[in-house]
Structure 1
Amino acid sequence: MLMQFGDESALSAKSREWVQQMIKFMTEFTTGLKESGELLADEGLALAPNAKVVSIEDGAVATRDGTFTDPEQSLAGWWLVDVVDEARALELARQIVAGAGEPVAVRRCHELP
C-alpha cells in the first residue's frame, strides 16, 4: 500500500495552477497503474478536519474529531498495488513524491497463513 501524506495547511496556500497540476499528475499516475495492471484500489481522502477517531478512553469507547497523526501531515490518499517486489513499490512511491512533493509511506499488506 502506498499512502500519501500532506500538509493540509500548506495546501490552502498553493496556487490554483499548482492544484490543477497536482490533479493532472495524480490522474496520470493512477491511469498508468491501471494500464499496467498493478492497481488494485485507490482513493483520495477528505480533509483531516472531517475525520473522526474512535478509541477507548477511560475504559469507554469514545469518538473525537481529528486524526491519529498531526493534521499538518495527515493521510491524503492511498493506492493498493500488486507489484512484483518491494523495489517496484519504492519506485512508485518515489514517482509520487517527485510529482506531488509530499511524503509517501510504503507498507506491505499482511498475508494470512
Structure 2
Amino acid sequence: MNDDALTKALAAATEAADNSQQLEVVKAVLIAQAISQAAAQPQHTCQHDHQQPKPFDAKKWWTIGGLVVVGGCVACALALAFALAATAVAIAATCATGCFLILRSLWRDYAKHR
C-alpha cells in the first residue's frame, strides 16, 4: 500500500506540474494578445490646435476699464436727468391740480352770483 500511495502522489505531482505549465502558457498567450491589441490601436491625437497663451495686455484692460467708467458716468447722468424730469412732472402736476381747484372755486362763486 505504501507503493500505491507513492504512485498516487507522483501522479498528482506530475498533473500539478502539467497544470502549472499550461497556466504559464495561457498566461503568456494572454500577455501576447494584450500587447498585440495595444499595438493595433491607434494613438489618440488631439484635434485642436495647442496655442501658447497670449501675453498680458495692460493697454486692453485700461481701455476696458476706462470705457466702463465713462459708461457709468453716462448712466449716472442719465439717471440724474430722469430724476429731475420726474420731479418737474410732479411739480407741474401739483401746480395744475392747484390751478384747477382754484379755477373751480372761482367758477362756483361766479355761478352762484349770476
TM-score relative to the length of structure 2: 0.21
Q: Which has the higher contact order (CA 8 A, sep 6+)?
A: 1
- State the structure with more CA Rg: 2
Where is the strand percentage greater, Structure 1 or Structure 2?
1
Where is the helix percentage greater, Structure 1 or Structure 2?
2
